[in-house]
Structure formats: structure tokens, C-alpha cells
Structure 1
């Protein structure tokens, strides 16, 4: 339904007053076009249509100026178009623009509209405009609310018929005494059959409703009337002039505060000014549930010279996961499932691991399942291979054992989200893509959003995924059709609508939104999951402080697509950036947020280590902590060493170490650029030195000291051979060269191994993690267990020496 403008009240005078003024100062740069579904004149068989020129000319000018245009019709869906002049370059351009024509094929229903989003409403003309629009009460209400919100009302030619019954809140004419024009009765072919079907004469209808109808006797001379915030044009020749007049009024009605802030936000994206040959970004910012900034920069398709717009579709990678979680919570709210349900209820073929795995376990990343994406790489799939949803499910269902009892530990895995798509399918009879389209995207007016679950599907207005290299741009193709974890395409305008729903839910309840943004827990209902990214929420996002201020965030990186979102819940600010520019866009999104948030941060942007209270330790004291440390849970090795009388922290395999400054005898803070407080503590347990790493409010990452093993070249020979995993039907041959032990198969690049402890080797591949060799009673190697942060105890049996 259309939404009324929210009212603000003063609490804690200074802070809330500024917030309220700031929100009111912003206006979304969107314009709503009103069209008609009428295919015939009245009840006749005479074809009627919406006037193509009267649509595309103002549309072209509005979009070029940075506005987003939405289309509605009384019934929604396809509208008839006519009066097309294909010799006109602009009309021809849009006639063959797949994205634009798709918008006309899928116009929104009046009930889809949130009036706070729009700065203007524009009634388009054509014979069809005489039918179904003027009497539509919801469209009248929409127009009145946009006008009451300081918006502009425009109508061209027969589109003025849509103003015939417009009233204000008191039931009086919305344009009483104002000059209004439209297609005058004088120029109608009154002897024609089409004219006899008209429900009223435009001139008389406007006069009857208190308006002052005027027109030009000459006609087709761009006659346009501006009276207050009403802009009307007599015939198609007025289209261009009308568009400029509408934009002039919007600019005049824009407060200086908004203009200044918009200008400052534009500076964040200055590198894309006049850069049509460079992949770019689209950005959105919301304040107090209102869209206050929405712009796009750079090119969606360099070859075709198509610029990014607020409606351009980008893949958002891991940011897709919140929609999967939302769908599950929506079904829970509808009573169609319970988070405590055993997954076997919906997926009977799911293996029996001896413990029930519930929907909550899948959502909370505590199922104990191995990550399918890591299994995919280990099984030998290449990036260029076509990978489907069924392929992902097959890898998950082939698992033989769990890493831990479900609900007793956390371990991040994408497998649970893939299984949740199957739960949705079994509960609703629809794929997640179809369910989301019908029950989430369409009701929220997210017409440019979809889960891409068919590789051969042609999607209009989709930004090209680029790889930016030394030799220029290359296409960075994505060859999979999996959903649930990734592969959601959306636009900046649509993502704005999604986050508006968080503030004033139209789909789902406030309680659902609260659950989506609450921390996941284990079976005890208390223990939360706090990796270095932040506290994991049910919406698969993270809660992490930015300079002392709580924020919710996540990101997505797939191919050349890169997306970031930052939400500051206490300040009601949401900032995001989507891109096809093959880079991490977090700095852009954060810079937007900080521009609006202002000086609210208690902590500095960069820690001043000169002011940090530290103590002095001798070299001998520092050497106490030197050595190698191993984290078996996360399969990671670290080296601590002393250099120039300072302690250093080094990730095994990297060249440089980070400086650690002592803040107590056994507690150190890492010197970093930024505001992250990274603490490294040392403690002895049972004679063994342990190192505890935390970042901000993260859980502890515990490393245990060990002495590295340096195998002689001859000793490495016993680790060579061929090893096979039955579940994945995958073979790896371990060989030896002058650098040590390595492996590869036909689809994998070379993976090298560094010995760390007896029979334990750390690999150069994250998903391969480490391998721990097993031996029989005669000390002969029988195989190895592969362990990483995503897979535990995946066994490869030795089948050949």
C-alpha cells in the first residue's frame, strides 16, 4: 500500500532535532510515471495506447540528470504503447532498449508505491490515458501525498485526464484556481468513433474541479504551463520543456542542507566523473528509513557505452545470504516451519549423522557440516566449470561425518544456506528464486532483483563483471547457478527499498526484522559467534564497532562484482555501494556514512600509538614469547620474533611482521592503520606457552607453541604417494621437488606443503588447509586427514606409493 510520511518528535533536543531536520532535508531523486493499461477506446474494438514519445522524451532527460523513474498503471503489468516514430533517434534508442521495454512490460501496481520515495509524479498521455487512471482512488491518493510532501505534479496531453478528480485532504480541488493545460477539446477529432468513447472532456473536467484550463490556439508549439508545483503540457511537443520545468521545481524545492550533503557525497565518487569507459559503482544512503542519496557512476557495459544507473543490476555475493535467512524467518512467522525442525523433515535423503540438525543449526553456522565451496575446490572443480545447485547439494549429501555435535560449536559454512533453499522448496513448492520473487521482491517493488538460478537466463540491464588488469579490462565470467549463498542480482534502487522495509516493514513484521538482526546462538541460547568480522547475526551479517559506534556490515565479492553495506542502527543510517569495478568498495560506503554521521565517534579514525600507555620490556623478556604457534581450530600458524628490541607478529608464509607494543608484561597491542584494537596475550598452561589473539570484541583465537620440524630431503620421501577420498571420488598425488613436498591434480594449481610438526604439514591453499598423516602399527603412512577452517577430518587413503 502507499505509505504516509512519518512524523518525528523531539527527544534529547539537540541530537534528535538535527536528525529530524536532516531527514526532512533529503528528498529521493525519483519520479513516478503514471500510465494506463487500456488497450481499446472504452468498450470498442478501436486500439488505444500510451504515447511513446510522451514517455521516452521526459524519461530520457530525467535519467540523464540522475533521476530514477518508476512506472505504475492501474492494474500493473504490461501497458500498450503506440504513436512510435522510429526515425527519431531517442525513440529508436528506447524502443530497442531491453531494460526500458521490460519496465513497460512490468509496470508497478499502485499498491506497490511508497510515496515518500518520490519528488514528482508525471502523468503520460495517449488515448489510453483517458481510461482507468482518473477514477483510480489509490493513484489519486498517491499523487496527493507526493504533492503534500512538497512534490511536483505533471501531466502531458491526454495525461491531464488523470487530474480530473484530484482532491486535497479536505475533499476540495488540489489545483483550485491554478492554470492547467492538456490536449484541448478544440483539437479533438470529434466526428471520429474514438472520441465518442471518452468518459469526459478534459477541458470541462478540469474546470469542473476548480482548475483554470488554458491552451494555445496554435498547438504543437511546446505550450507548457507552470503554476505552483503543477507542470502541464498541451501536446507531445511539450515533453522536453516539461521535463526541464519539473527538474527546475525539484531543484528549487531542495533545501540547501540536502544540496550541500549531496555535493559532498558526490565527491566520494569523484574518480568516476566523466568516466564512461570505466566500470563503476551505484550507491545508496538511507537516514531514518528514508532514501536520501541514490546515484550511479561509471559504465555498466564498456563495449556498448551503457552507463550504470540506480536500476542497473549487480551481483552482491555474500550479501545475498540475508535474503535466504529472511525467507526462512518469513516462513516461520507464517507458521509453515519451525527453527527447531529437523532438516530430515524436509530433506529425507539427508545423511543420518547420529544427531539431529535443525534449521536453527543451519542458520546459526553451528551444524558441523563441511563447507561445500571448499569441497568443490578440493574435488577438482575449476572456476570455469559450470556448477549448479544440484552439484552443490551432491557435495553436501556425500559427507560422511560432522565436525562437531550440531549446536555445540560454531564453524562458518555455506552448506547450511544451500540446504535452506531446499527447505524453502519443500515447504512452498517453489524454488527460493520463485518464492522470493513472489513474496519479497514484487511486494516491495524490487523489480530489478532476482536470484540467478539459470545460467542461460538473459537478464536485461545487468552490469558486466570485469577484471581490471595491467593489460586493460577483461570479462570476469561467473559460471555457476547456485543460490542461497550468492548469485542475487539487485540494483541500488531496489536495495534501498529492501532496507526501507527494515524501518517500516511491509513484508515481515518488526519482530522478524529484530530476529534477523539479532545474534545467532548455540543450543544453550546464550553463546554467540564472534569471529574477527564481528558478531554473526541471523541475517548472516556482522555486528562490529566502528570507532566505538555499533554497526552492522557485510560485503560480497564475486567475479568483478564488489558490494558493501554498513548499517549504524543507533543513528538509523544505512550506506551501501555496489560495483562491477573488481575491487573492494568498503571505503566508499564507509566514507558516505561518515559524511552523514558527522562527528559522533568517540574513538579516532586511527589509533595514536604515541599516546597509548605502554611499558618497557627487556629483550630477554620479549624473547620469552618468541617461537612458532599453531591454531588447530582455524588451521593457522604464526611466528613471534624479536627485531630491534621489539616483538613482531608474522603470518607464516608472509614476508613482514606486525609490531606488537607491550601494554602489560604479557599483553601486547598490534600496531595497525585504522581503529581496530588487536590484542595479543601470552599465557602458560601446563608448561606450554599459548598465544591468544583477539580483534575488537571477537572470540579468542588460541595458538599453542610448537617447534617446527625440518625434514631432510630423504625423510620427505615417505610422505609421497597417491591418496584417494571416496566421498569426493578425488585423487591427489604428493610429490617432492627441490623446494619440498607438493601436490596437484589435473584441475588444481600446484599446492606446496610446509612441515610444522611431526606428520603435520601446512598447505599453501586456504581450502586445503593442513594435512596430518596417519600411520599403521609399523609406522607406515596409511593416509592423511585434511583440515581447514571450513573442513575437518576429510580422510584421503594412501592407495599407491
Structure 2
């Protein structure tokens, strides 16, 4: 850990002197990237700092000037810019000259996110110069040492400048310009006016001064520059000459930052300025909200960053601003990185999607069929969903839950829900197993493999799989639950990866999606595979739930008002994330939040700013213009009744009210209107562009209802007549039931509302009768309960069925048999 000096600037004597107090902090910068181009530029600024702890070889403590970092940082972030920090050696740097009575300095001094951001500065070798539109040399006595002579930093500054970037320096930071040359070896600022801390104001008798390797004034002149300064000093003296912006002393920090911002904005085309202005309006509800959670947003067009900005607070208690480099949990959006890792290993020849998973996880039971890695990726493996098993087993949402816990739940499954590769089911168990495959193939956990082979090469240094729930993450947005009576912390206590628990920032996601346009990690063939539909063993059948067609990247392809898009979302604790990709228009839009709010509307409104009017269908269906037919009440009544989807364990009711057909789910809402577009086909009235059709047909003398949303698969419901059990009849379903694999017990009881069940960790689950021995629960994962009987008609147990799990058997305990 580096020491931190305690120096302040004595304005009266225009010199630096040590204070009696010393501060210790660790300073870190995070690397982001995107492309700086004439059309769209990511607004990033690189701050250059020094590692020097002492003046020369003396024992006089040196430091980087806190104010000269904090004031520009504050103004740049406020303007929507992103700041990264480097030092010659990287890692910890000393800071000082801290004035805690200054409100802005105090804010950042006690801002955990800012101090965490500064925890380890980057090395010059880590920097991709195309990522930056400006470089700023910060001051303090430490700036006189180790920076100017660093050829890598010189090269970074030259490349940024050659791409129409800005070079800035303040106070002693101007020392970093001493040896700057152009590609021909001549001065980079020949004849230009440059300022910095003048030698006139140094205390030449002081020991610190005797350690200086050169005098700033003379070094600038020796390199062809025109060194100028204010004789008065401490008057905010700032010089702008071309794309060089320099400030004389700390009083110049604010003016210098504004001048840099002006130059960057001047280099942005009008179309980008207007787009940014319009997108800012999309987030008006979140702007200037230090007392409430918020969002970070990113927008890409044609492989370039159009927009990257944060709004609201990452930590309400400390009122820490959300920026483009604030970490968020992205929930199910994490799955794409697991899929990418597997496809990357396939491309490297280290595995094949046709491999049987038993090759890598031999402890898996033999189910009588091979289970390929492709089937794990395509959600056709036949494994029950581990998260459903977790809930049924009695785990609570706030319990600590590890990767091994998830793996154990999968390994305990004695049989599959179906023959692998013959049908699809909503299960994330395959991705958990694939994390174990990565570990067996590479010797690394998925977290370590992704860090080394995906995140680091792409510069995603603010991204990681969180596989240790006790790890303290820096620069992370807190998870909040927004309720009517205020905010609540909504902590996440599990450490499973593969399906969730990836933390990343808006800036890092930009780099990830830029890799899709011009792959640096993985080939174009891999990217194409990632965005291709999964299939069954037949090679043609695709999986099309209501979210859209499932892709190998665990995202969905779905038409947005007639235009193809790829999308997914993540909801985990208080974190909510959305991504929309319009592949034909090369537009990617995403929003990350810590406010437990679905951010799809924000994401789409941002995308529309660059998509324009490309949609053949309206944002909302005008049902007044929809071509419909007139059906009599008698005709409508033929479709009335109760319908049951045995595959997904859902019940629906269709009824006629005011001569209109209504569609009602099992939650008992008022029902959605159905308007007839043909004699047996109805369209659901929705507020949006989704075309939801409900079709009726008779098969074997029984009415069936078929539900589709857009291009989804058919959800088939069969008509049934609900039964009502008497209290006496319900008595035979009472009892205690046990599942050996889950080691879990459920007790069925009866109250005034009917049958219900519970275990020690779960809330009451109510059960509604569908058929004689079939009940529907009010819990999605518990699904339906079908009781089993022996030949004497005694209940021996029950099976749980849902869209995530099939035929999970619980045996009835204390069963008495005749003659015993």
C-alpha cells in the first residue's frame, strides 16, 4: 500500500508546505473503451498521475494534488464524460493537498465510489488510445517525477492528440509535457502558449525544490513552447491554444475543465449533439436525483458509441452519482457470457457441443441417454430447473446460496423430465452444468476464465462474475427496493454464476457489444452462432416462448413493431437491466438500474432516437381500425368455460360479459377483452404492439383454446369442468409428504378457503381443484399437484408439475395398508 502525503497549497505564499495530518487511501482507475470517430465519439478523459511518494531521493513526502483531480473530475462527470486514471507504475498513488472544508473535495473524500474508483491506477500499457478524446496531466509535487520521461505516456498523449484529441495540464502537471514530441521527433506544441506553475512562485530555498529534475518554464521553452503565466497568480489563469489547455495553479481547475469540455463538444457533429440532447430528455425523471436510485445507459450505432451516461444515485446514503463505470448486477443477462465462454472453448478445439456432459461431470447419474452440451445450451436437456427445485426445497430468497448448492440440486435429480433433445423446457440447470464444464476443461472457474480470456482482453476491467458473496465490490450500485413508504435495501446473498451474478458497467457493456461488430475475442463465426436459434435433435425445431425465439446466446429474437430485434432482461433484487439489439440497423440500446424497475421503456425510447421511423407497425394497435367480425352472444358462449394447460400448469377462464368475450388468468383479474377477427379466432386487446391471438378448435368432442403471442409457440389449453370438493372430501388429501432427493417435507391441511400446504420456510401455498386429484397452486414453481393412488385408491403421494419441472414426486408418510 502506498503512503499518502498530507500537503496543502499555501495561497498566501504561493508555495506548497506540509500539513500536520496525513491521509492514507488507495487510488484506482478503471479502463473502459469504445471508438472515437468523427461521427460518434465516446467521451472519455484520461487523467495522468504519479506514483512518487517523496521528492526525489529525499524523505520529504510528495503527493498528487487532490483538488486538481477532484474539481475537473466532478465537472467532467457532470457533463457526461468518463474519467480513467493512470500512473507510470499503476496501482497506488499518494494524494494530498486536501481541503476538507471545500464542499466538492469533502464530497469526494468521503465518496466510497470515487475513492474505490481510484483504488488502483492503470498502467500505461493497459491503455488503448482510441478510447479517449482528451488526456489531462494532474498536478502536485509528485507530478515532477516519473511522468515526463515515461515514453509510453508520451506515446499515449501523442496518439490522442493526433486523433483530434485534447491535451490538458494543470499546475505542476505541466511537467508531464516537458518532452512531448510529434511523430517526426519535433515538439508537439512548438510555438504554442503553455502555462503551469511558474518557477517564479517556487520556494527556491526549500529542500523540495532542490530535488526537481528540471524547471517547468525552461523545459517547455526547450521543447519549443511559449511558456506564459499570470504575475498575480491564483486568479484562475488558463491558456487555450489549439487543442492544448493548460492551467497555472489549482485556482485554474474549474476554468480549465470547462475549456476542455468546450473543445470536446466543438469536435462533436451537430447530429450527435442533438441526439444526446434528445436522449437526455428520456432520462429526465432520473436526472439530478442524488437522493434516489437511478440508471446507467448506453447506445451504440454502426459499431460506435452514441451515448453513455449515468443518472441518479449509486448509494443514496452517500449520494454517490451513478456514472458509466458504476457496477450493476445484470441478472439473467449474465447467461450470454456463459454461452460465449462455451462457444469460445469450442472454437479453440477444447470441447465440442456434441460431447456428452458425463465426459466432464462423471458424477452425474446415468439417465439412460447421453446429454450433450448443445442440449444444455438449448434448454432441451430434460433437467428440471434448479431454481424451481431450490424454492420447493425450502430455500428462502435471502438465504446464502452457493454454486455447489445449485450443482447439488441438479445432481440429486434421479430422472429427466424428457428425452434430451426432443423437447424444450424453461430450465437454467444446463448453464450451471456448463460452468462446471468450463472448470473441468480449463482448470479455471468460469469467473476466472471469463476474467482472463474475455473481460481483460476487451478492457472490461469493471466486470466480473461474483462467485463469492462475501467479497466487497468497489464502485457498485446498491440494490434498492422502491416502495410507497420509501427505499429499502434489497441485498443479494447468493454466489451462483452462469445464470446470474455478473456485475458490469454501462461502459464495459459498450465494449462487449462493440466486440460483436468487430470481434477481437472470438470469431465472426462464433458471434453468428451466438445469435442463431437453438434447435432440437432434429436440427430444425426452434424454441419460441412468448419472449421470442431462443438464441444460443440465451437472448430472444422478437419482432418489435415488425422490425426484428434481439433482447433480454435481468431482474435480480433491486437491479433491473434491459438490452435491445436491432441487428439490421446496427443499433444496440441498454439500460442498467438499481431501482427494481423494469427499464424496457427507457431502453426502447433511447433506441428510437437513432432508429427513426423505421417501424411498419404502430407503437400501439388501434383496435378501432382492426378488421373484426360480429358474433352473436350465443356464438360467443360456445367458447365460454374453463381451460387447462397441462404442460405448463396454467388455468384460464373465458367468459362473456356485455356481449364481449373476456380472457382471464388464474390470478382472478378482470379479464382481457377478446375481439373476433374470424369465427373462431380472437385478438386480445392490449396497450401496445403485441399481437396476441386466442384460437378455439374442437378435438375429440372437447374444446381446445390455443394461445399465441406474436411468433410464439402454441400454448394449448383443454376445456374442463371445475369440481368442488366438500370439506369432508378434502380430508383425504391431508397429510405429510416427503421428497427424498430434496430432503423436504410438505404438510397438506385444510382451512375455510380449501386445501393448502406449507413447509417451515415457505409461505402458505393455496390449492384450487381442477380435476378429481389435480390441484393448481398459487406458486409458479410449485405449479400443479396431482395426487397418486394405489390400487386400493389410497393416496400414496403427489407429483409437482410446472413449466420448469415435471413429475417431482413426494411420498406420503405414515401410510397405513390393509392387514398391517
Same fold (TM > 0.5)? yes
Is 1:451 aligned to residue 465 of structure 2?
Answer: yes
| Change in 2 beyond 3 A, CA 1:436/1:61 | same
8 Å Cα contact 1:368-1:403 kept in structure 2:
yes
Is 1:491 aligned to residue 505 of structure 2?
Answer: yes
Which of 610, 615, 633 is equivalent to 1:619?
633
How far is the alpha carbon of 1:140 from its aligned partner? 4.2
8 Å Cα contact 1:4-1:145 kept in structure 2:
no
Alignment match, 1:670 = 684
Alignment match, 1:699 = 713
Is 1:573 aligned to residue 573 of structure 2?
Answer: no
In 1, Cα distance between the equivalents of 2:98 and 2:188?
Answer: 33
In 2, Cα distance between the equivalents of 1:4 and 1:471?
Answer: 41
Alignment match, 1:517 = 531
8 Å Cα contact 1:316-1:486 kept in structure 2:
yes
| Change in 2 beyond 3 A, CA 1:707/1:328 | same
| Change in 2 beyond 3 A, CA 1:5/1:647 | closer
In 2, Cα distance between the equivalents of 1:93 and 1:119?
Answer: 27
In 2, Cα distance between the equivalents of 1:3 and 1:461?
Answer: 18
Alignment match, 1:292 = 306
Is 1:507 aligned to residue 521 of structure 2?
Answer: yes
How far is the alpha carbon of 1:789 from its aligned partner? 0.6
* Deviations 1:656-711 (CA, angstroms, capped at 9, x unpaired): 22222222222222221111111222223333332222111111212222232232
In 2, Cα distance between the equivalents of 1:657 and 1:520?
Answer: 34
In 1, Cα distance between the equivalents of 2:498 and 2:34?
Answer: 34
* Deviations 1:732-766 (CA, angstroms, capped at 9, x unpaired): 11112222211111211111111112311111111
Alignment match, 2:598 = 584
8 Å Cα contact 2:33-2:459 kept in structure 1:
no
Q: After the TM superposition, which of the residue ranges 113-122 and 588-597 deviates more from structure 2? A: 113-122
In 1, Cα distance between the equivalents of 2:245 and 2:108?
Answer: 24
Alignment match, 1:319 = 333
How far is the alpha carbon of 1:220 from its aligned partner? 4.7
| Change in 2 beyond 3 A, CA 1:84/1:274 | closer
* 3-state SS in 1 of match to 2:538: coil
How far is the alpha carbon of 1:117 from its aligned partner? 4.1
| Change in 2 beyond 3 A, CA 1:290/1:110 | farther
How far is the alpha carbon of 1:438 from its aligned partner? 2.9
* 3-state SS in 1 of match to 2:585: coil
Which of 696, 701, 704 is equivalent to 1:687?
701
| Change in 2 beyond 3 A, CA 1:39/1:345 | farther
Unaligned runs of 5+ in 2: 1-30, 816-820
Is 1:269 aligned to residue 269 of structure 2?
Answer: no
Alignment match, 1:59 = 73
| Change in 2 beyond 3 A, CA 1:199/1:347 | farther
Q: TM-score, normalised by structure 2?
A: 0.89
| Change in 2 beyond 3 A, CA 1:332/1:209 | farther
Is 1:547 aligned to residue 561 of structure 2?
Answer: yes
* 3-state SS in 1 of match to 2:191: coil
8 Å Cα contact 1:112-1:444 kept in structure 2:
no
In 2, Cα distance between the equivalents of 1:275 and 1:44?
Answer: 47
8 Å Cα contact 1:112-1:443 kept in structure 2:
no
In 2, Cα distance between the equivalents of 1:629 and 1:749?
Answer: 27
* 3-state SS in 1 of match to 2:813: strand
Alignment match, 1:242 = 256
Alignment match, 2:647 = 633
Alignment match, 1:661 = 675
In 1, Cα distance between the equivalents of 2:780 and 2:320?
Answer: 38
* Deviations 1:577-613 (CA, angstroms, capped at 9, x unpaired): 1112222111111111112211111110111222222
In 2, Cα distance between the equivalents of 1:65 and 1:502?
Answer: 28
In 2, Cα distance between the equivalents of 1:37 and 1:665?
Answer: 78
Alignment match, 2:806 = 792
Q: After the TM superposition, which of the residue ranges 192-201 and 780-789 deviates more from structure 2? A: 192-201
Q: After the TM superposition, which of the residue ranges 596-605 and 620-629 deviates more from structure 2? A: 620-629
Q: After the TM superposition, which of the residue ranges 639-648 and 666-675 deviates more from structure 2? A: 639-648
Is 1:147 aligned to residue 161 of structure 2?
Answer: yes
Alignment match, 1:256 = 270
How far is the alpha carbon of 1:360 from its aligned partner? 1.8
In 1, Cα distance between the equivalents of 2:98 and 2:667?
Answer: 65
Is 1:426 aligned to residue 440 of structure 2?
Answer: yes
Alignment match, 2:484 = 470
* 3-state SS in 1 of match to 2:370: coil
In 1, Cα distance between the equivalents of 2:670 and 2:106?
Answer: 59
Which of 533, 558, 574 is equivalent to 1:560?
574
In 2, Cα distance between the equivalents of 1:3 and 1:390?
Answer: 35
Q: After the TM superposition, which of the residue ranges 290-299 and 524-533 deviates more from structure 2? A: 290-299
Q: Counterparts in 2 of 1:81-92, with a 5 A limit?
A: 81-84=95-98, 90-91=104-105
8 Å Cα contact 1:2-1:112 kept in structure 2:
no
Alignment match, 1:715 = 729
Q: Counterparts in 2 of 1:114-153, with a 5 A limit?
A: 114-130=128-144, 133-134=147-148, 138-153=152-167
* 3-state SS in 1 of match to 2:673: strand
| Change in 2 beyond 3 A, CA 1:6/1:339 | farther
How far is the alpha carbon of 1:128 from its aligned partner? 4.6
8 Å Cα contact 2:35-2:305 kept in structure 1:
no
Which of 375, 399, 411 is equivalent to 1:397?
411
In 2, Cα distance between the equivalents of 1:209 and 1:383?
Answer: 64
* 3-state SS in 1 of match to 2:625: coil
Alignment match, 1:764 = 778
Alignment match, 2:170 = 156
8 Å Cα contact 2:33-2:510 kept in structure 1:
no
* Deviations 1:99-149 (CA, angstroms, capped at 9, x unpaired): 333333322344544445433211223455455544555544543443344
Q: After the TM superposition, which of the residue ranges 635-644 and 202-211 deviates more from structure 2? A: 202-211
In 1, Cα distance between the equivalents of 2:518 and 2:53?
Answer: 36
* Deviations 1:444-500 (CA, angstroms, capped at 9, x unpaired): 333332222222222233222222223222222222222221122222222222222
Q: Counterparts in 2 of 1:178-193, with a 5 A limit?
A: 178-184=192-198
8 Å Cα contact 1:605-1:675 kept in structure 2:
yes
Which of 767, 788, 797 is equivalent to 1:753?
767
* 3-state SS in 1 of match to 2:809: strand
| Change in 2 beyond 3 A, CA 1:524/1:47 | farther
* 3-state SS in 2 of match to 1:570: helix
Alignment match, 1:479 = 493
Is 1:608 aligned to residue 622 of structure 2?
Answer: yes
Alignment match, 2:86 = 72
In 1, Cα distance between the equivalents of 2:446 and 2:526?
Answer: 18
8 Å Cα contact 1:2-1:111 kept in structure 2:
no
* 3-state SS in 2 of match to 1:519: coil
Q: Counterparts in 2 of 1:735-754, with a 5 A limit?
A: 735-754=749-768
8 Å Cα contact 1:723-1:800 kept in structure 2:
no
In 2, Cα distance between the equivalents of 1:40 and 1:339?
Answer: 57
Q: Counterparts in 2 of 1:166-185, with a 5 A limit?
A: 166-168=180-182, 173-184=187-198
8 Å Cα contact 2:35-2:42 kept in structure 1:
no
Q: After the TM superposition, which of the residue ranges 354-363 and 441-450 deviates more from structure 2? A: 441-450
How far is the alpha carbon of 1:551 from its aligned partner? 1.0
8 Å Cα contact 2:116-2:475 kept in structure 1:
no
| Change in 2 beyond 3 A, CA 1:432/1:4 | closer
8 Å Cα contact 2:739-2:809 kept in structure 1:
yes
Is 1:407 aligned to residue 424 of structure 2?
Answer: no
Q: After the TM superposition, which of the residue ranges 379-388 and 65-74 deviates more from structure 2? A: 65-74
Alignment match, 1:385 = 399
How far is the alpha carbon of 1:63 from its aligned partner? 2.5
Unaligned runs of 5+ in 1: 8-23
How far is the alpha carbon of 1:237 from its aligned partner? 3.7
Is 1:332 aligned to residue 354 of structure 2?
Answer: no
* Deviations 1:599-635 (CA, angstroms, capped at 9, x unpaired): 1111101112222222233333333333222222211
* Matched positions, count: 785
